Structure 1
Amino acid sequence: MTEKKIAGVTAVIPTLQKNKEILTKLIEALERDTAVTEILLIDNSLIGFKHSSSKLTVITPEENLFVNPSWNLGVAKAKTEIVALLNDDIILPENYCGDVASSMSSEMGIVGVNGMGIEPLPETFCHPQKENIYLEPTNFMDDYYGIAMFFFKEAYNRIPDEIKIVYGDSWIFTHCQRMKRQNYRICGCTIYHYGSLSSSQIEFNPIAKVDAKIYKKLTVKWYHRLFSYEEIWDCHKYRLLGMTLKIKKKKPWGKRYA
């Protein structure tokens, strides 16, 4: 039986360099991952970053681009078929990108993280134990879906420039749904997550609020504001005459591993 050839992966990492130790450990893991052929670090801290990795290209913009425009830039510059958008605050199992990429096919939509496999970063900063990764179809995003997302470049829909920090993952996820591309979540493994090192900062909250208004304006039709229903991963959402009601599900959607 012929072994499946793994398409090359470009890892795109926007960063404010709030924790260089975690960022360095992530880059070193990607350096060892043979499926990753290039690492594009979007340095929104503007202070520069040095590392000996032969795969690494550091892009330092003139000003902080924020997350979503950084993703757009990274995808545009990527030279490979598959792109991975990665948080700068995660520690991955060894060969994580290669294992995910080997399970992907070009007709897929977005392949993101299963939130049930997220654990807090241990004090030792060790890598999670390598497990058997598999992909499971999903119609929902949970809270951690966007911390590591994979896709073929042809599936990516550029995020509007005016949406800076949040809803970028929702934008590309729902675009694939509209294009009849099935989205997936990554199961069978653990990722260590330190917590958002950039978008959670207080100074960015006003920008996130503006993002929410713009996203709603771009995606919610006027008649949906009169009445609409949407099921998401943890609740049922009803809109009636401009008001929104969320009814939590009894059990969180999803399971840790099957």
Structure 2
Amino acid sequence: MISYIIPTLWKSDSIFKLIESFKTIEDKDAELIILDNDLDNTKYISDDKRITVFQMEFNQFVNPSWQIGYHFSNNKRVCIVNDDIIFNVKRFHEFVLESKARAICMTNWNRIDKDLDTWELVDNGSPNARPAGGGQLMMVMRQNWPVLPYDMKLWHGDDVIYYYNTLIKNEKFCFIRGMAVTGEQSVSVNSDIIPQEMKTTFTQDTLEYYKKMHILGLSCSTVFPMELKMAWKHDDIKTKLLYEQKLDKIING
């Protein structure tokens, strides 16, 4: 039995394909928990009793939404899913239960156009470095879900889940070779939707996070926050220099 948790702002059409794919699951105990962070949303009303939509009073952002979804979930396995990816939810569900997988995360190996005939569980082989893209689709056992810091809004919640499982619970993460994950990318975390007052707080928190990761000998797949990536993309020299100075000061003292 698996509970799927999807925070959304309904900015990607992929989520509707995910919902339809979920409905094809025959398991009556499967759950889909949608955290609706769009205050003006009137787009979707569920006709499947296994689907629950929680309307948030304000945008909780990704990590707090995962924590809320976990709180309301009931199954032994909990799976966080981005709202901008598409995969065969029914086949994934059946494969996980049949293989008795305990910890799965997506990797860039899953970026293939279509499913292969055979799926295979493959050990990621690295408890100290979460694979790139892993947080877009990640499943763990319910008893191995950590408490996510509420002030960690957008990024790194998946790192917390990954390292809590590998380093504390001694779980081995696998990816599913042959499984296709397609769709849009990062629609719901576009830098333009992040309030300015949150950007400043997030920036400092993120730099502190990198410092702690470096000291522990760990690595995360996100090298810089989305705001900095956008600065690089648009050649915003002022922002790039500001980040470089802050990062150097925190890491080197």
TM-score bracket for this pair, using the shorter chain length: 0.7 to 0.9
Cα distance, 1:78 vs structure 2:
0.6
Map Cα deviations across residues 159-209 of structure 1 (whole Å, 9 max, x no partner): 111100000111111111221222222222111131111113334282642
Partner residue of 2:133?
144
Partner residue of 1:184?
174
- Measure the CA separation in 1 of the matches of 2:150 and 2:222: 29
Partner residue of 1:66?
61
Judged with a 3 Å threshold, the aligned counterparts in structure 2 of structure 1 residues 39 and 92 are, in CA distance, closer, same or farther, namely same
Question: More helix per residue: 1 or 2?
Answer: 2
Cα distance, 1:233 vs structure 2:
7.1
Judged with a 3 Å threshold, the aligned counterparts in structure 2 of structure 1 residues 208 and 81 are, in CA distance, closer, same or farther, namely same
Question: More strand per residue: 1 or 2?
Answer: 1
- Measure the CA separation in 1 of the matches of 2:10 and 2:56: 14
The alignment status of 1:97 with 2:102, answered yes or no, reads no
Query: RMSD across aligned C-alpha pairs, in angstroms?
Result: 2.9
| Match among 8, 21, 32 for residue 15 of structure 1 | 8
Judged with a 3 Å threshold, the aligned counterparts in structure 2 of structure 1 residues 243 and 18 are, in CA distance, closer, same or farther, namely same
Structure 1's consecutive aligned runs of 4 or more residues displaced over 6 angstroms after TM superposition are 231-235
Q: What secondary structure is seen at the aligned counterpart in 2 of 1:30?
A: helix
Partner residue of 2:72?
77
Partner residue of 2:236?
none
Partner residue of 2:147?
158
| TM-score, length basis structure 1 | 0.73
| TM-score, length basis structure 2 | 0.75
The alignment status of 1:242 with 2:235, answered yes or no, reads no
* Counterpart residue type for residue 30 of structure 1: F
* Counterpart residue type for residue 45 of structure 1: D
Partner residue of 2:164?
175
Partner residue of 1:132?
118
- Asked whether the 8 Å contact 2:104–2:174 carries over to 1, the reply is yes
- Measure the CA separation in 2 of the matches of 1:192 and 1:198: 15
- Measure the CA separation in 1 of the matches of 2:66 and 2:46: 21
Please list every run of 5 or more consecutive structure 1 residues that lacks an aligned counterpart in the other structure: 1-7, 121-127, 245-258
- Asked whether the 8 Å contact 1:84–1:148 carries over to 2, the reply is yes
Cα distance, 1:147 vs structure 2:
0.7
Cα distance, 1:216 vs structure 2:
4.0
Please list every run of 5 or more consecutive structure 2 residues that lacks an aligned counterpart in the other structure: 224-247
The percentage of aligned residue pairs carrying the same residue is: 22
Judged with a 3 Å threshold, the aligned counterparts in structure 2 of structure 1 residues 73 and 100 are, in CA distance, closer, same or farther, namely same
